[in-house]
Structure 1
Amino acid sequence: MEMRELTVVAGSFVGFQLLFSVASPLLSSAISPTYGLLPPTKHTEWNSRLVSTVHALIVGLFCLYILCFDEAVNSNPVWGDPSMVKLNVAITCGYLLYDLLLLACNWSTMGDRFFVCHHLAALYAYGYVLTRGVLPYFANFRLISELSTPFVNQRWFFEALKYPRSNRMVVVNGVAMTVVFFLVRIAVMPSYWASVFSTFGTEDFERLGSGAQVAWITSCVALDILNTIWMFKITRGCYKVLAGSKAQKGQEQAEASTRSDKKKHANNHAD
C-alpha cells in the first residue's frame, strides 16, 4: 500500500474515533433530548450508528458522483484511473477498521457475526484496490450500497427511543428502508454480475492475477449472500410493521365507531 493510502486510512480511522467521541454525543443530545436518558450501552451503539450514517452519506454520494462523471473509471472498469475511487475506498477502510474495533470492545452488547463477516470481506477486496489500484469501477459500484445504511440506522434509533411500530415515521422509514435496500443491494446484482462476467477471458482480467481474481469474486459472493439474508429479514420486519399498523388503525376505527354509537345511544335515551 502506498504511503498516501496508508495516510488516508490512518487519518480516516482517527477521524471516525474523534467524531465518535466528541461530535456524536453533542449532536445526538441536540437532536434528541431523550438521548441522555438512554443507558451507557445504548449510548455507545447510538454514537456508532450516527458515525455510520455520516460515513454512508459521504461515501454513497461520492460513489454516485464517480459513477456519473469519472469517465476514466467507467471506460475501463478493471484498470481505469483509480485516484478518486481509492480515496473513497480508503475512507471506507478507515471506518470499517474503526467499527471492527468498536464491535470487539463491546461484543456483549453490539456483537454481530454478520457485520464482522461483511467488514472482513470488504476489507479483503478493498485491500487490492488500495495496493494495486485495480477494479476501481467495481469497487465504486459496491460502495453505492451504503446509501441504504442511514435508513437501517434510523430504524434502530426509533427502537432505542421506544417509538411504537405503528408510529407514522417508523412506518415510513421502514418502507423507505426496504425499498432503498432492495434497489442498491439486490436489484443491482444482475447488472453488476453481467459487468463482472463480461471481463472474463479478457486481457485486462488475466492481468489481475489469480490473487486479485479470487479476492474479487469470493468477496462479492459473500457480500451478496449477506445482503440477501438481510433483505429477507428487512422484508419480514417491514411486513410485520405494516400489518401491525393496519391492525391498529382498524382497532382505532372500531373504537371510534363504538364511541360514536354510545354517544348516539345516550342522546336518544336523553330525548
Structure 2
Amino acid sequence: MVVQFYSSQVELLLKSYMLEDSSVLYTSVIGGISACKIVYDLSQGISPVYFKSYSKLSNPQKIEWNNRVISTFHAIFITLMSLYLVFWSELFSDGPPTNFIFRRSMLSSFALGVSVGYFISDLAMIIWFYPSLGGMEYVVHHLLSMISVMYSLLTGEGQLYTFGVLISEATTPAINLRWYLDTAGMKNSKSYIINGVVMFCSWLVARILLFVYLFYHIWAHYDKVKQLQPFGHFLILAVPSVLAIMNSIWFSKIVKGLKKTLAKRR
C-alpha cells in the first residue's frame, strides 16, 4: 500500500510538472548535446583548412577555439528563438485565457531543451579543462543558467523570463570573435576596434538595458509572478539579479578595454 501510494504521487508530480510529450524533453536535450559534439568535430576538421593560424595554436588554444565555435552556434540559435518567442510570437502575450507565466509550447520547450544540452556540454568541458576555458565565474554563470533553464523546461513555469535572460547570449559571437582576433595577432587591426565597439553596444543593449526592462516587467506583473511555486519564484528573482551583477562587472572591463584600445589608436 505504501509503495502504491508513493507511486501514485510520483505519477501526479510528473503529470503536473513534466511535458505532456516527454519525448520533446529527451530528444531536445540529447539533440543539444549531440549538436555540440558535431560542431566541435567539424571545427576540428575545417579550421585547419580555412584558418592558417589554427595550426600554430597550442593544444589548449585549439580546444578553446573549438569550444568557442560551439558557443557561437548556440548563441545564434537561442538568440533567434528567444527573440521570436518573446517579441514576435503570441505565446506570452499578456492576456487571457491563462497567466503568461505558465504558458509553454512544443517549440519553446524544444528550444530550452537544446539550450540545456549546450549548458551541460559546455559546463562539462569547463570543469574538465579547468581553468583554461574559464574561471569560477564561468562555472557559476553556467550553473545558474542551466538550473533556471532546466527548471523552466521541466515545469513550464516562467519561460518568458527564461527566454528574456537567454537573449543576452546575443553578445557571445562578438566576444568569441574578439578572442579569435587576439589569438590571430590582430589586436592592432581595424577589425579589432570595430569588434570592440560592437561588443560594447551589444553588451549594453542585451545585458544591461534588457535586464533593466526585465526587472521592470517582473515588478509590473508581480501579482502573476507570485503565483509561481516557491523555487520558481526564487529563481525568477535571484538568477537575473546575480547575472545582472556579473554582467555589470564584465561590462566595466569591456569599457576599460575599449578605452585602452581607442587611446592606443590615437
Alignment TM-score, normalising by the size of structure 2: 0.86
**Post-superposition offset of 1:93:** 1.1
Q: How high is the sequence identity, in percent, across the aligned residues?
A: 25
Among candidates 194, 197, 201, match of residue 216 of structure 2: 194
Alignment gaps of 5+ in structure 1: 247-271
| Alignment match, 2:260 | 240
Among candidates 168, 179, 188, match of residue 201 of structure 2: 179
| Alignment match, 1:139 | 162
Checking the alignment, whether the CA contact within 8 Å between 2:85 and 2:91 is kept in structure 1 is no
Distance 1:179 1:220 in 2: 20
| Alignment match, 1:31 | 50
| Alignment match, 1:153 | 176
| Alignment match, 2:103 | 80
1:71 counterpart SS class: coil
Which has more helix, going by share of residues?
A: 1
Rate the CA distance shift 1:223–1:77 in 2: closer, same or farther, 3 A: farther
Q: What do the CA deviations read for 1:167-223 (whole angstroms, capped 9, x no partner)?
A: 1010100111111111111011221111101222x2x33331211101221111111
| Alignment match, 2:6 | none
Among candidates 22, 28, 43, match of residue 62 of structure 2: 43
2:227 counterpart SS class: helix
Checking the alignment, whether the CA contact within 8 Å between 1:148 and 1:177 is kept in structure 2 is yes
1:28 counterpart SS class: helix
Q: Which has the larger radius of gyration?
A: 1
**Post-superposition offset of 1:40:** 0.9
Residue 184 of structure 2 aligns with an amino acid whose one-letter code is: L
**Post-superposition offset of 1:101:** 0.7
The correspondence of residues 1-271 of structure 1 with structure 2, limited to 5 A, is: 1-2=18-19, 3=22, 4-20=24-40, 22-75=41-94, 76-163=99-186, 165-200=187-222, 202=223, 204-246=224-266
Residue 63 of structure 2 aligns with an amino acid whose one-letter code is: T
Checking the alignment, whether the CA contact within 8 Å between 1:82 and 1:134 is kept in structure 2 is no
Checking the alignment, whether the CA contact within 8 Å between 1:10 and 1:94 is kept in structure 2 is yes
Rate the CA distance shift 1:182–1:31 in 2: closer, same or farther, 3 A: farther
1:110 counterpart SS class: coil
Residue 224 of structure 1 aligns with an amino acid whose one-letter code is: A
Q: What do the CA deviations read for 1:107-131 (whole angstroms, capped 9, x no partner)?
A: 1422311111111111121122111
**Post-superposition offset of 1:6:** 2.7
Rate the CA distance shift 1:52–1:39 in 2: closer, same or farther, 3 A: same
Checking the alignment, whether the CA contact within 8 Å between 1:100 and 1:116 is kept in structure 2 is yes
Checking the alignment, whether the CA contact within 8 Å between 1:85 and 1:139 is kept in structure 2 is no
**Post-superposition offset of 1:67:** 2.4
Checking the alignment, whether the CA contact within 8 Å between 2:78 and 2:166 is kept in structure 1 is yes
Count of paired positions: 242
Q: How large is the RMSD of aligned CA atoms in angstroms?
A: 1.5
Rate the CA distance shift 1:154–1:50 in 2: closer, same or farther, 3 A: same
**Post-superposition offset of 1:236:** 0.8
**Post-superposition offset of 1:69:** 2.4
Distance 2:120 2:78 in 1: 15
Residue 57 of structure 2 aligns with an amino acid whose one-letter code is: L
**Post-superposition offset of 1:91:** 1.3
Alignment TM-score, normalising by the size of structure 1: 0.84
**Post-superposition offset of 1:83:** 3.1
